[in-house]
Structure 1
């Protein structure tokens, strides 16, 4: 039955999303739990700030791969509904991983992987703009929030597939929710900027 297939896609994507490259790499290479350092977030930005660009980019690429893998599998197995379910569930798994006490990252890299598959042109253009935002402001959180919201808005106007529209809106909402603490710090002028020259944030 389709319902059972959708449930299977959702559970499988959630479990794959729950695998945390940040935690695996930080424990295997540095013998440390990334959640005990910096912002406490198991994601790319905190890995870069704490352990440097090499480990951070490894985390980034593997997180993207999770999103790509799950969406491709979801679409292959269950069409557009499977794409929607897989895309959302893999990010939920990343943010609230069952293997790590439901304490994960903010899901931006995994969201990028999902969006590159479901709306590649819009995502590519938005990513380029996000890089500019990071280079100019050094605020990764601003680029992440603006980028995901922009993709959702543009997709709602340009995309014909309702499942893609829903997916982009839900993913943008998850991104904003995941960055709620960053938003508060931005409002109060306390948000950390990304350093390009050293491991630690100055």
Structure 2
């Protein structure tokens, strides 16, 4: 039963954290669950929690801990966030493990997006990106010429893009520099026509923020 709960917890958390993140859960001084992401510390179930790690500090202080851990602790440097939890009546810890440069990258807007076009991955300058869409559980971004598939979720991208990107709908983020005009549809809702000809809806939940950002 406990293993099934841990698997469910890992899957739920995995839907919200970056794809590169690994997820570790520890209780009573050892790791009891590990789900490897692209940045993998190769932690194994039953492995002791090492002093100086985020799991150790979070368990000791019983509070959220976010920090960079040096290579000397686990053999590989990492940036992570630890959360105290209760598991089957015992104090436990959930740790989100990320690359050591994650904190720096989070503070700096993305300069390019890498997307898959046919069978190749291609980096594309964000200035060229007209808009980004979430559709059928995938994220797509568009330039004047091509459509690319991205591994990132729209939610993760929203906080990493430069300030000339504007959320207009839960499924769309647009590059303000690529907006051709703003009009209303038959139901009097705002819609944006992009320079590539795409017509995108502005949801009512975002209408006020769109008007505020664009000044109309």
With normalisation by structure 2, the TM-score equals 0.26
Structure ranking higher in helix proportion: 1
Higher relative contact order (CA 8 A, sep 6+): 1
TM-score (ref. length: structure 1): 0.27
* Higher alpha-carbon Rg: 2
Structure in which a larger fraction of residues adopt strand: 2
